[in-house]
Amino acid sequence: MAIREGWKVLREHRWSCMSVGYGGAIQYPVNKWAKPRPRCGPLTVFDSRELAERFMWESWGYRLTIHRCQYKPSRLRFLWARGRGHGLRLNELPTGTRLANAVKTLE
């Protein structure tokens, strides 16, 4: 599948950015591909900045930032999160969520 552009909501953590939510903390260095941890994933991104902002303010808010990104779409339609014992279907995730095999933040 072709690389696409999207938006990633990340938590500021010291001098880096970490993922928010389902799969545990994953670091997202700028201009480097991040991949899911073993037995987790795929990663999540939003297809629009507006939906990423809505998620940020309605769900988490504190110390979060939105980053433009590129992602490699996943063919999976569910998300595995370590420790949950089951997956989440795409329609159970926030509106505008896209699943990705890898994500590269651009800013």
Q: Is 72 exposed, middle or buried (0-12, 13-18, 19+ CB in 10 A)?
A: middle
Share of the chain above pLDDT 90, in %: 44
Q: What is the pLDDT of residue 21?
A: 59
Q: What is the mean pLDDT of the chain?
A: 84
If one compares 41 and 99, the residue with the highest pLDDT of the two is 99
| Domain around 72 | 4-105
Structure tokens at 7: 């938006």
Parallel, antiparallel, or unpaired for β 43-46 and 64-73? unpaired
In the chain, the number of structural domains is 1
pTM of the model: 0.85
Residues 38-64: tens digit of each pLDDT: 877 899 999 999 999 998 888 766 678
- Go through the chain and tell me how many residues it has: 107
